[in-house]
Structure 1
Amino acid sequence: MNKRTTRLAILGAAVAVGALAISTASLPASAADADPGINVVGGTPADEGEYPWMVRLSMGCGGSLLTDQIVLTAAHCVDATGPDTSITASYGSVDLDSPDVVDYQSEYVHVSPTYASSGIDDWALIKLSEPVADAQLLAIAETGDYDEGPFEIMGWGADSEGGSQQQYLLKAEVPFVPDAECADAYGADLDPDTMLCAGVPEGGIDTCQGDSGGPMIARTEAGDPVQVGVVSWGQGCARPGYPGVYTQVSNAAAEILAAADELATVA
């Protein structure tokens, strides 16, 4: 299974309801040989302001604002830990061509040490060169209370497996897939301690190419969003029997928050 570097878009017709996409970055073990697609197939266009913490990254990935100067994304979307001024983060509208979109340049990247050594814990942080004006932030799940869905996925990725990236942000809802069921599809490539699966058995709803690094969210009892997953990998886009695989944020939350605190001090 290839990672969803282009992973989340939502299938559709006139309004580009498309499919999310998976990155083609390195995956765990044999997963690296699988297909590079996964998308929000079967979704609908997001309303302006519905997911105000969403960020589009110039390498073709998504992300979310963890702080006003730090983006949470997938490790397979970036290179190594260290100074990096090559990434542009676009923020401010569901329409990437909107005049409300503001571009921010990266300053430093932190890659999950576990991902760098073993290919699991697929998350990374990007520090921007300046704070985002009027930033809206997305809280991350620090416990597993919301890890069984239902979930919302969103992104600007391909509108079909191998398709084009989207101008407008697309969204969809997907149910939780238990570890045992997900392992039936992916075998030893699935690490249930660090990965979370979501999708429908018959396929048709998923993230896709260009959605890697974007968030999967659940809702608290009060209706507030909380990030439970990072779009990571899967087999194709919205294929029957192959759910999307997401980095399980609750498992890595303490390390993510500690890294963000440290990154905030990096000059």
Structure 2
Amino acid sequence: MVHLSMGCGGALYKKDVVLTAAHCMSGSGNNTSITVTAGVNDLNSSAAIKVKSKKVKVAPGYNGNGKDWALIKLARPIDKPTLKIATTAQYNRGTFTIAGWGDTEEGANTGTTKLRKASVPFVADRVCKRHYGNRLVSKEELCAGWQSGGIDTCQGDSGGPMFRKDDAGKFIQVGIVSWGDGCARAGVPGVYTEVSHFASDIARAAAAL
């Protein structure tokens, strides 16, 4: 789990590549303006590892509707564990973990310096569409959240991973924090990029960075 200086989250896909959301980025190309903070829960900790970005690759065809993933090539590798991504849809169910340094309530616009995490259950597309209708790109997006609300990702959590354990008990990333209406509202799930749908595209893009 890493923090990005523009106020988004991300996860180490490789030691020198971060997987995050396209909507956090200004576009593809050489980019040395992002500071990636890793290795700590508290962003103010003196143990924080800070590395600059070198290059950004935004999902091909991204236009603000689906395809919300991007990769950041780092100036140097970060020697921390990487998070494997799901390559099949089999883990796109159950209970997921979300984490980030974003707002702890809707409209706060402050974020937090200490990493927080929570659990949210999978929400089927047909249930999610009761609120979002055709705004949900079913093939490319996953919904998760409590019907009663109260727990959710929020502004500042964008790009961070949604993950769970695979059958071998290892953590696997199934989603990227993408969008939603407000934060933690009842009957309004969070919407996440469905990582397994883009796994081969992500692998190809990372290899070419």
Query: If the length of structure 2 is used for normalisation, what is the TM-score?
Result: 0.97
Q: Where does residue 92 of structure 1 map in the other structure?
A: 39
Q: Where does residue 184 of structure 2 map in the other structure?
A: 238
Q: Where does residue 44 of structure 1 map in the other structure?
A: none
CA distance in 2, matches of 1:220, 1:160: 30
**1:104 maps to which of 48, 51, 54:** 51
Unaligned runs of 5+ in 2: none
CA distance in 2, matches of 1:222, 1:97: 34
**2:61 maps to which of 114, 125, 142:** 114
Kept in 2, the 8 Å contact 1:114–1:120? The answer is: no
Q: Where does residue 203 of structure 1 map in the other structure?
A: 149
Q: Report whether the alignment pairs 1:216 with 2:169.
A: no
Q: Report whether the alignment pairs 1:145 with 2:90.
A: yes
Q: Which has the higher contact order (CA 8 A, sep 6+)?
A: 1
CA distance in 1, matches of 2:143, 2:61: 20
Q: Where does residue 157 of structure 1 map in the other structure?
A: 102
**1:180 maps to which of 108, 114, 126:** 126
Kept in 2, the 8 Å contact 1:177–1:199? The answer is: yes
Deviations 1:152-175 (A, max 9, x none): 000000111111211111011100
Moved over 6 A (4+): none
Letter in 2 for 1:104: V
Kept in 2, the 8 Å contact 1:153–1:174? The answer is: yes
Q: Report whether the alignment pairs 1:64 with 2:11.
A: yes
The alpha carbon displacement at 1:102 in A equals 1.3
**1:130 maps to which of 70, 76, 82:** 76
Q: Where does residue 38 of structure 1 map in the other structure?
A: none
CA distance in 2, matches of 1:194, 1:56: 24
Give 1 or 2: higher strand fraction: 2
The alpha carbon displacement at 1:135 in A equals 2.0
SS in 2 for 1:256: helix
CA distance in 1, matches of 2:106, 2:75: 34
Q: What RMSD in Å do the two structures reach over aligned CA positions?
A: 0.9
**2:136 maps to which of 180, 186, 190:** 190
| Count of residue correspondences | 208
Unaligned runs of 5+ in 1: 1-53
CA distance in 2, matches of 1:241, 1:114: 30
Q: Where does residue 20 of structure 2 map in the other structure?
A: 73
Deviations 1:28-60 (A, max 9, x none): xxxxxxxxxxxxxxxxxxxxxxxxxx1000000
